[in-house]
Amino acid sequence: MAEQVRVCRVCGQVNPDDDRTRCNKCWASLAGASTVTEIEGERHTRRLQFTFLRNRVFRIVFLVAAAVGFTVWGVLVFFELGANPSSPTTSLNASVGPQTWAQARRTPQNTGYTPDQAPIPQRVMWTYTASESIVASPTVVDNRIYFTTDNGDVLALDLHTGQEVWKYISKLPSSSTPAVVGDMVIFSVRPSRVIALDKETGVLRWQSENFRTSFLASPIVVDGTVYIGGEDNKIYALDAATGRKRWDFTTEEWIIAPVAYADDTLAVTSMDGVIHILDTTTGRKRFVFDSSSPITGSPVIHGDQVYFGTHRGIVWALDRWSITYPFERAIWRWKVQLYVWDMIMDEAPLQEGTVWGTYIGGKVVKSPAIAHDNVYVANDEGKVTALDAATGRSLWSTVLDENITTAPVVAGGTVLVGTENGVVRGIDAHTGELLWDFRVDGSITDSPIIAGGSMYLVTNAGTIYAVTGEGT
């Protein structure tokens, strides 16, 4: 008769059929273990061992796969990797040709510069008064001037007569300088939308989805993409032909000024004092710089550098090709703390990408302008300053006895600023000498623009002025 054994239900060990109560191998209780022949016990043991090995391999594979998946996910999130967004369907660009001012700050780099010479203003050629205030500069393209009003009207006027060509009533307030690209006029309204109209007729071409934010910034259009920031801390990239979102990027504070673009890089300033440099083909960040002070003006790109001013009165120049690596900002913050505690270094540690920083005093609340390899900036104390773009060295400063309400622009060799008292002042871009001034009614709300030998101004009274020089 075959020998009888008991098989442990836990580990599969074959145990003699005697008075033992626990397994010889795992010390599990043998109570309830069935008694079988030795041959059947060995078969049962092999089955249990195979099942155990199979389950163990499955658990190891599962844990390895989970670890690899979590690692890949962490790398994608930490380094902001992933699939690239769709490409734009067109290559539309706002014109930067002569006698043209086609979008905010005129160029994609936000330079605020035109080679057209500013006239020495002598007379008002025409005026047009809208039903509400005008808070953003107009644009000029092909003998027409386009602008928005605070109650949501968008208008096209004849450039020479000021006669209304068409009006689009959105019924939504706008703080936007329109961008004229191809056969469209593209603008934003504060309650969450970007809208495109037919340039010739003012008929609606498209409107974006409702982004559930507020747009205070003006759009910039380049290479078939509309770039605009909102109060939801996001920068949006929209297809210029359709208005569909290509990608978005989230910062940590409101974006209220136009972005700057050059060479597939986008400079974005936010009110928390941080500037981001993004790759426009992927929508992901390449570089981050923390100025530790609010930034309410636009960045400006010139060559390899990006410039901006802060509420601490510092104008910064950064290398826009710098890259922020993981943990770099945290390490810099620790270095700053150690410096504050007098534990390291004789000089404060600089952030990666710093070229120079120059203190001009007051608050710099508006965008700088770039021309003649100089940076022109105004502060809230009525001072206009020119800095060398390469070194940050102060070249000249001119103090005006009034509140400057506009970002400076440069037309030929003249720096132009508008004031709360309704005065436009022309300053020699090379010497800082005050050349002329011209007064209108109301406060000038945004930068003067120059096109075709004339100057165009907007006021809080809702009036747009076309001003010319002598003999024009």
Residues 70 and 118 in one domain: no
The verdict on residue 89 lying in a domain is: no
Domain co-membership, 184 together with 227: yes
HSE of 43, CA atoms in CB hemisphere, 13 A: 5
Segment 321-328 mean pLDDT = 83
Q: Are 207 and 243 in contact (CB under 8 A)?
A: yes
SS3 340: helix
pLDDT at 37: 77
User: How confident is residue 346, by pLDDT bands cut at 50, 70 and 90?
Assistant: low
**Structural domains in the chain (count):** 2
Same domain, 276 and 385: yes
pLDDT band at 22 (very low <50, low <70, confident <90, very high): confident
Percent of the chain with pLDDT over 90: 74
Residues 448, 319 within the same domain: yes
**Is 98 a domain residue?**
no
Owning domain of residue 374: 113-469
**Residues 257, 297: contact at Cβ < 8 Å?**
yes
> What local confidence, expressed as pLDDT, does residue 81 receive?
56
- Rounded distance between C-alpha atoms, residue 363 and residue 370, angstroms: 19
| Number of separate helices (H) and strands (E) present in the chain | 2, 36
Of 39-48, 52-61, 143-152, 245-254, where does mean pLDDT reach its minimum?
A: 39-48
Question: 145 with 156: CB under 8 angstroms?
Answer: yes
- Regarding whether 169 and 27 lie in a shared domain, the answer is no
Model pLDDT, residue 338: 62
* 30-35 LR contacts (CB < 8 Å, sep 24+): 30/6, 33/6, 33/7, 33/8, 33/9, 34/6, 34/7, 35/4, 35/5, 35/6
From 70-84, 372-386, 444-458, the region with the lowest mean pLDDT: 70-84
CA distance 333 to 376: 31
CATH of the domain at 285: 2.130.10.10
Q: Same domain for 131 and 65? A: no
Residue 262: which pLDDT band, with cuts at 50, 70 and 90? very high
pLDDT value at residue 70: 59
Residue 77: pLDDT band (50, 70, 90) is very low
Question: In this structure, is residue 456 part of a structural domain?
Answer: yes
Report how far residue 305's alpha carbon sits from residue 303's, in angstroms, rounded to the nearest whole number.
Answer: 6
The answer to whether residues 320 and 424 belong to one domain is yes
Q: Would 84 be classed as within a structural domain?
A: no
Q: Is residue 344 part of a domain?
A: yes
Flag the least confident range among 16-30, 80-94, 358-372.
16-30
Same domain, 74 and 161: no
Distance separating alpha carbons of residues 381 and 131, to the nearest angstrom: 32
Q: For residues 239 and 89, is the Cβ–Cβ distance under 8 A? A: yes
- Residue 416: both structure tokens together: 């132009």
* pLDDT of res. 8: 74
Helix ranges (H only) for 79-139 are none
Last residue of a domain, one of 78, 97, 131: 78
Label residue 16 by pLDDT band (50, 70, 90).
Answer: confident
Domain end, chosen from 22, 52, 78, is at 78
Question: Which pLDDT score, from 0 to 100, does residue 72 have?
Answer: 55
Q: Which whole-number Å values give the CA distances from 69 to 63, 65, 84, 380, in the listed order?
A: 10, 6, 20, 53
Q: d(Cα 121, Cα 85) in Å, to the nearest integer?
A: 48
Lowest mean pLDDT among 31-40, 222-231, 463-472: 31-40
* pLDDT value of position 329: 61
pTM above 0.85, yes or no: no
Q: Is the pLDDT of residue 295 over 70?
A: yes
Domain end position, chosen among 78, 101, 136: 78
Q: Which two tokens stand for residue 264?
A: 């597939």
Residue 78 has pLDDT above 60, yes or no: no
The pLDDT of residue 91 is: 96
pLDDT band at 370 (very low <50, low <70, confident <90, very high): very high
Decide if 108 is inside a domain: no
Asked whether residue 91 is domain-assigned, the answer is no
| CB contact at 8 A, 194 and 209 | no
- What count of Cα atoms within 13 Å lies in the side-chain half-sphere of residue 385? 26
Residues 36-62, mean pLDDT to the nearest whole number: 73
pLDDT digits (tens, 9 = 90+) for 194-213: 999 999 999 999 999 999 99
In sequence order, what are the residues at sequence separation of 6 or more whose Cβ sits closer than 8 angstroms to the Cβ of residue 157?
A: 128, 144, 145, 146, 163, 164, 165, 464
Count how many Cα atoms sit within 13 Å of the Cα of residue 108 in the half-sphere of its side chain.
19
Lowest mean pLDDT of 56-60, 257-261, 327-331, 448-452, name the range: 327-331
Contact 447, 137 (CB under 8 A): yes
Across the beta sheet with 225-229, the strand order is 220-222, 225-229, 234-239, 245-250
Instruction: State the average pLDDT over residues 259-277.
Output: 97
Mean pLDDT, range 188-198, rounded to an integer: 95
342 and 408 together in one domain:
yes
Q: Can you tell me the distance from the alpha carbon of 113 to that of 431, in angstroms, rounded to the nearest whole number?
A: 17
Q: Are residues 15 and 60 in the same domain?
A: yes
Q: Tell me if 96 is assigned to some domain.
A: no
Within 10 Å of residue 81's Cβ, how many Cβ atoms?
11
> Do residues 304 and 419 both lie within one domain?
yes
Say whether both 66 and 138 belong to one domain. Answer: no
Per-residue confidence (pLDDT) for residue 208, from 0 to 100:
96
How far is the C-alpha of 300 from the C-alpha of 389, rounded, in Å? 11
Q: What is the pLDDT of residues 106-138, one digit of tens each?
A: 999 999 999 999 999 999 999 999 999 999 999
Helix (H, G, I), strand (E, B) or coil at 13: coil
Question: What local confidence, expressed as pLDDT, does residue 36 receive?
Answer: 73
pLDDT at 354 over 50: yes
